[in-house]
Structure 1
Amino acid sequence: MNRTARLYALVEELRAAAPRPVTVAALAARLEVSTRTVQRDLQALMETGVPVRTTTGRGGGWSIDPDLTLPPIRFTPDEAAALTAALAAVATPFAGAARTATQKIAAAMTGPAATAARDLAARIVALPSRTDTAVRTAVEQALTTRTVLHLTYLDAAGTPSEREVEPAGLLTTDGHWYLIAWCRTRRAGRGFRLDRITTATPTTEPSRPHDLPTLLRGSAAATALRPSTLDPLG
C-alpha cells in the first residue's frame, strides 16, 4: 500500500470508529505497517488540516470529527480534471483554501482520474491577483463569519471613501470579483470591486442577513445566476 492510499485508509478507519479513539497499535495492525509509520502519517494528516486529534491516558488514542470530513467520493477522470482545473484557476477570493483543496484532492486520487486532473491543471495558468492579501483575507473572514466590515474604497475616478458594509456575497464578471454588500454609509446595496478596496478591517459585530438577489435588483448584475454546479443533482 502506497502512502496516499494509506493516508486515505487511516482517515476511513478513524471515521468508522468515530467518536471512539483508536490506538496507534490497532491502526498499525489493520494497515500492516509499523506503529512509527502510523504515527508519522497521523502527524502528516494533522498538519494538512484533517481534523484528527489525540487523547492520552487510559482509553486514549486517535480520533476524527466525522462532521468536519467528507465521506469517500469517487470521481470519473473528467470530473476529477474539471474540479482540479477549476480550483487551480481560482485567483481570488478564497484562493488559499482553493489551493489546499486542490492539493488534497490530487493527493487522494489515483489511476486515470489523478493523471487526467494533474495533466489539465498543469496546463492552466492565472495572472497574480491585484487584490491585496490582507484585503482578501478580511473579505473572506467577514463573509464566513457574517460580520461587519470597514472598507476604504476607490471609485472609478480614484476618489477614496470610507464605508461600513454588511457583506452578502460575491459576484464575478469580466475577470473581476465584487463584494456585494449593504452599505451603511449609502444605505443601499452596493458592489465593491475587490481590487479597488485599499483597506478592509474586520469587526466582531454580527451582520444582518441580506438577500443577494434583492441587493442586485436594479443593478447591471440583476440577471446574475448562481453557478449551475451548486444546484442539487437531479
Structure 2
Amino acid sequence: MNRTDRLYALVEELRAVSPRPRSARWLAGRFEVSSRTIERDIAALQQAGVPIWAEPGRTGGYVVDRAHTLPPVNLTAVEAVAMAVALHRLDGGPFAEAGATALRKLLAVMPPADAAEARRLAGRVHLVGGGPAAPVPAAVAGAVTAARVLRIGYADRAGVATERTVEPVGFLGNPWHWYLLAWCRLRDGPRAFRLDRIASVTVLAEPVTRELRPDALDIPRQVVRQLTLA
C-alpha cells in the first residue's frame, strides 16, 4: 500500500471505530508499517486539517472526531479542480486560508485514484491575475480532460475565420477570458485560443500526446501561476 492509500485508509479506520481510540502499535500492525511511520502519517493528516487527537494512557491512542470528518466523497477530478478555480478568487481575502483548508479536507477523503487524477488535471490549468470570469464550453473542457484532438472554427482578433486542428493541453485564465492552450497544426506551433472566439468544436478520436508549458507562448513567467491542489 502506498502512502496516499494508507493516509486515506487511516482516516477511514479511525472513523469506523470512533470514539474508541486506536494505538499507534495497533495501526502499525494493521497497515504493516512501523509505529514511527504511523506517527508521521497522523501528523501529516493533522496538518491537513483532519481532526485527530491522541488520548493518553494504557488504553489510549488516536481518535478522529467523527462529527467533523467526512465519509468518502464521490467528487470527480473535474469537480475538485472546479472548486480549486473558485477558491482562487478568495486570494487576498479573509477566507483564503479557510477555503484552502476545506479543499485539503475534501481531497483527504476522496478515493486516492480520484485525488491523483484531480492533481494531474490541476497541473494543466494556469491562472493569470485574479482568475477567469467566463465559463469554459463543455466540449472544450471535455476534450482537455480526455486529452483528445479538436477541430475548431476560430476567428482571430481581426475577425478572420479559419478551421484549425489543435492538440489541447490546458487552459490559461485571466480576469476577463479563458484561453485554450494547444498545439496548432495549421500554424505548426503553440497557440492560445480565446474561447469566446471559438465558433465550433468537434472532438476527434485521436489522443493528444504533446505537452506544452505557458512559457512556450512568450508569457512572462512572473505573471503566470499554475493552479495546484495541496
- More RCO (CA 8 Å, sep 6+): 2
Q: TM-score, normalised by structure 2?
A: 0.49
